[in-house]
Amino acid sequence: MSWNYSTIRAELRSGVLWATIDNPPINLIDEQFVADLSALLDDTETDGSVRVVVFRSADPDFFIPHVDLERIAEYTAVAATSGGPETAASARCSAGSVRRAP
């Protein structure tokens, strides 16, 4: 399994997928991050070796506290292409979807 995303650095070690959010300058939630997060969650569901995902930030001052308000339409559209409300990134980030992830 290839864990390559442009805004998330991911490394699988002993069943733990270390997902480092790296979307400078301050980890904005934008369409590329939403696409990468959706892909990462899809990949964890299909890879039987992932037992847990640990999210961390490449920026010591920010985790993912910022949304680029000017680009909401774009990243919402990206999330919607992931297969509908059951698998859209916004829905997938809900407790139910994250709870299902390995």
Per mean pLDDT, which of 12-21, 23-32, 83-92 is the most reliable?
12-21
Q: Which pLDDT tens digit goes with each residue over 55-100?
A: 999 999 888 866 777 777 777 777 777 654 454 444 444 434 455 5
Q: Which pLDDT tens digit goes with each residue over 32-58?
A: 888 899 899 989 988 889 999 999 999
Of the candidates 6, 89, 8, the residue with the CA atom closest to the CA atom of residue 53: 8
Of the candidates 3, 8, 16, 2, the residue with the CA atom closest to the CA atom of residue 64: 8
pLDDT of residue 14: 94
Q: Using CA atoms, how far apart are residues 37 and 2, in angstroms rounded to an integer?
A: 14
